[in-house]
Amino acid sequence: MALSLLVLLAILSSGCAIPAPSVTLGRTTVVGRAIPEFQQEFFGGLPYALPPIGPRRLSPPVLTTQLNVETFDASEYGFSCVQLPQEQGVPLENMSEDCLTINILRPADLPRNALLPVMFWTYGGGFVGGNSSVYNASVVVAQSVARGTPVVYVNFNYRLGALGFPVGADAARAGSLNLGMKDQLTALKWVHANIGAFGGDKTKVTIFGESAGSMMTSVLFFNPDLEMFVRAAILESGLAATMGLYPPTRNQGSWDSFIAAIPECASLPARQLFSCVKNNASTSSILTATATVKAASLDAYQWMPVVDGDIIPDLPSKLLAAGRFAKIPFIAGTNLDEATGFDLIYPSYVVDSTDALKELLFQSVFRTSANPAALPSVALQRGVDELLKLYPDIPALGSPFGTGNATFGKSTTFKRAAALLTDMWFVSLRRQAMDAATAHGLQPYGYLFTQPQPEVPAAYGVAHGLEVPSVYGAPFDTSDSSVALSKIMVDYWLSFATSLTPNDGCGAPNGNRTPYTTRPVSRVPHSLTLNAIVQAVIQLNGANLTMIPDNFRSEQTMYMAANSALWGH
């Protein structure tokens, strides 16, 4: 009797098993994984470029659109790209240099000709960390189906650190600059070639990302090919010049220190060093050298995009002013207190006096020379002096904003620096991009995320990155207000991706959410154009979701925009 019951249970469980989804890509059957609780299908770890290993290390990606096998197991994510484990908590065994893979999440049982809009995500992580596997878009895709505007979600891995963003003269000569951004563009080309097999529409791709991912996405606006692959963008807390853009030799010292810490290469003649890193250095040596450089550097970012005359042809402020950017609709926004949390990650950003703040600005943030000790130009000295006048050491004016004279046990300079860098890196650049787009007949949408974060120490307010869980339908704060706001934000993003407006009337309770508009509210200038119209931005706050004038701290950001070249903007 017991044996009969076991047999019966086995038969029943076999009958209930959900078959693995599959698609045909060229001559290959791609087998994914069913996600029955969401009625979705996942296909992961698909290579979009040849492995950047061996002779292809430190080289531009080589697109591959075919798998050249009969069956491909796409049930799991691929390896994360090489990074220090402490950057994003990725264990060593889960990373590899062979990491250029792409992932697709879609509603179940799509016909090949479904032609759904596509949302293409680029993760952040300061160009040194991050991986696609931590971004679970099941809630987003489920909400897209529930509101009647289904989408296909895509994300991917790109190279990081010295392997993705090498700097210096040797990397420039080798054509090896900005490799991570070239990975991103290659992934978009893969989507253009293959997304139709998964039910996506290659003509309806919206790119979105946060922090470094948003910066990379913004850089693509200066690529003449972008409009072939993308029709819209959402930029969360990052524009092309957010951390400043400089020539490749600006961080030459980081590259030199990196090579000196690689045993296989340290003793070789200068002319052989780049080739040695490319061909001889072990992955372990590269990680050790990366940690050595990080520990010794005054810079928060040793590895980052540079002006290369190619994918970044010039300073973004010049390109925007000249109209040399993709004319596609976009949403761009910032969080209320973007720069408060950087002192937690980068010790050099802990400042406790005006002199210390000046040193940070001259030797790191605005440094143009490869030598951190080099005297700044007279123009930069004057510019910083003016900035410090515009951001006085008055806690009530600092960030986290709206917290009065509270200093949370920190120096008053903390709030001063956080306010200055919030505007320098985020608010001013978002305004410049919106002004340039408006001047060329576009109607960009802006936002300011101000939702309180009770799980975050009060000193950090609504800091950088805190909107991301809400965009994925999983806010840290599970209060009714926060959950409702998250649902509305997902609706705005989905509406924009599927109809090019955040206001399609679907989703949220009966589609009755605050209209997200671009209407002008005054003619007070705030940035590049003397007669610029001040745009309205939406305040993303569960207790007060409303359009607000985009003129807060306008004097400060107008000064920044008028002197863009000083800041590498």
What single DSSP character describes residue 409?
Answer: T
Specify the amino acid at residue 293.
V
What is the Cα 65 distance to its own chain's centre? 25
**168 in Cβ contact with 256 (< 8 Å):** yes
What sign does the CA torsion over 361, 365, 371, 372 have?
Answer: positive
**How many angstroms separate the CA atoms of 152 and 105, rounded?**
6
Sequential DSSP letters for 350-368: ---SHHHHHHHIIIIIT--
Would you state the structure tokens that stand for residue 423, as one six-digit string? 């505007």
Q: Which residues fall within 8 angstroms of residue 320, CB to CB, at 6 or more apart?
A: 432, 433, 436, 528
**70 in Cβ contact with 103 (< 8 Å):** no
**520 in Cβ contact with 533 (< 8 Å):** yes
**550 in Cβ contact with 535 (< 8 Å):** yes
Residue whose structure tokens are 């787009």: 437
Q: Bridge-partner residues for 328, per DSSP?
A: none
- Is 211 catalytic? The answer is yes
Q: Bridge-partner residues for 34, per DSSP?
A: 41
Of 565, 546, 88, nearest to 314 (Cα)? Answer: 565
Q: Using DSSP bridges, classify how beta strands 40-47 and 28-31 pair: parallel, antiparallel or unpaired.
A: unpaired
Of 450, 459, 210, 215, nearest to 341 (Cα)? Answer: 459
Question: Angle, nearest 10°, between helix axes 554-562 and 428-439?
Answer: 70
From 133, 138, 176, 211, active-site residue: 211
Q: Using DSSP bridges, classify how beta strands 22-25 and 200-210 pair: parallel, antiparallel or unpaired.
A: unpaired
Residue whose structure tokens are 């989408």: 151
**How many angstroms separate the CA atoms of 243 and 421, rounded?**
10
Longest dimension (CA), the chain: 92
Q: Using DSSP bridges, classify how beta strands 71-73 and 28-31 pair: parallel, antiparallel or unpaired.
A: parallel
Phi, psi of 45 (to 5 degrees): 70, 25
E strands within 1-115?
A: 22-25, 28-31, 33-35, 40-47, 71-73, 101-107
User: Catalytic residue numbers?
Assistant: 211
